[in-house]
Every structure is written in structure tokens, then in C-alpha cells.
């Protein structure tokens, strides 16, 4: 799917929220000022994620698509949006490598 026509200019720092079972018809664009983020808008994003919605957000090169990784319906939506095979895993972000054990099993390889 070509996302180029779906979102506004990334320089405008807009976030697209998709919620509900018919998410394509329920898109909402919001703009969060990175220097002075508005708590009400942050709450809107969090509420969308908590309800199993999908969030599209600008990065330095393109838009990212995110959801609550513990919500299987939301993860399934991203698979559908991206037409991605279910066996192909996604990457995820966490605030620090020290937090990764909360989300994944981490084992150090043996030192020879």
C-alpha cells in the first residue's frame, strides 16, 4: 500500500490516529508540538493506544506505524495495513535497553 497520499507533510509533525473496528473511516490527525507537548493531545494518543488503535507518526525519514504490542487486535491491524505475513515479526521501541527484558527473552551468547 502506498501511504504517501494518506498523511500530511511530515514536517508538520502530525500524528494520525486510527481507532475502532472500521479504522479506515475513523482517522484523526493531531499535531503535537515537540517543544511544548500538550497533555490533552498526549492523552488522546494514549487513549487510542489503550483502545487497540493504531498510531502513525512521523520519523526522520518516513512515517512509523505503532500500537500497543500487548494488544493482539492492534498488532493484527498493523499486519493487515502493511499486508505483512503473520510469521514475519515487527521491531519495537522501548525507552532503554535495560527495559528490553520486560518485552523479550534475552540471553547472552556463551563466551568462548
Beta strand 63-66 with 14-18 is: unpaired
Q: Give the pLDDT band (50/70/90) at residue 18.
A: low
Give the distance between the most distant pair of CA atoms in the chain: 56
Among 39-43, 62-66, 89-93, name the one with the lowest average pLDDT. 89-93
**Distance in angstroms (rounded) separating the CA atoms of residues 69 and 49:** 10
Taking alpha carbons only, the member of 65, 60, 72 closest to residue 17 is: 65
Q: What angle do CA 77, 7, 21 make, to 5 degrees?
A: 30
In whole numbers, what is the pLDDT of the chain averaged over residues?
Answer: 77
Residue 40 has what pLDDT? Answer: 93
> What are the extents of the domains in the chain?
10-102
**Distance in angstroms (rounded) separating the CA atoms of residues 93 and 1:** 23
Cell (9 digits) for 49:
493506544
Put simply, whether the predicted model's pTM sits higher than 0.85 gets the answer no
pLDDT tens digits, residue range 44-75?
Answer: 989 989 988 888 888 888 888 999 989 999 99
Residue 7 has what pLDDT? Answer: 39
Residue 80 has pLDDT above 70, yes or no: yes
| DSSP-derived secondary structure for 48-93 | HHHTT-EEEEE-SSSEEEE--TT-HHHHHHHHHHHT--TTSPPP--
φ, ψ of residue 9 in degrees (nearest 5): -55, 125
Amino acid at each position: 500500500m502506498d501511504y504517501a497520499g494518506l498523511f500530511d507533510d511530515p514536517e508538520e509533525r502530525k500524528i494520525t490516529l486510527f481507532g475502532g473496528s472500521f479504522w479506515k473511516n475513523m482517522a484523526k490527525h493531531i499535531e503535537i508540538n515537540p517543544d511544548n507537548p500538550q497533555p490533552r493531545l498526549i492523552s488522546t494518543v494514549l487513549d487510542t493506544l489503550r483502545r487497540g488503535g493504531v498510531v502513525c507518526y512521523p520519523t526522520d525519514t518516513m512515517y512509523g506505524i505503532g500500537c500497543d504490542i500487548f494488544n493482539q487486535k492492534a498488532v493484527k491491524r498493523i499486519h493487515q495495513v502493511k499486508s505483512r505475513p503473520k510469521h514475519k515479526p515487527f521491531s519495537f521501541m522501548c525507552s532503554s535497553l535495560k527495559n528490553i527484558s520486560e518485552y523479550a527473552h534475552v540471553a547472552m551468547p556463551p563466551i568462548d
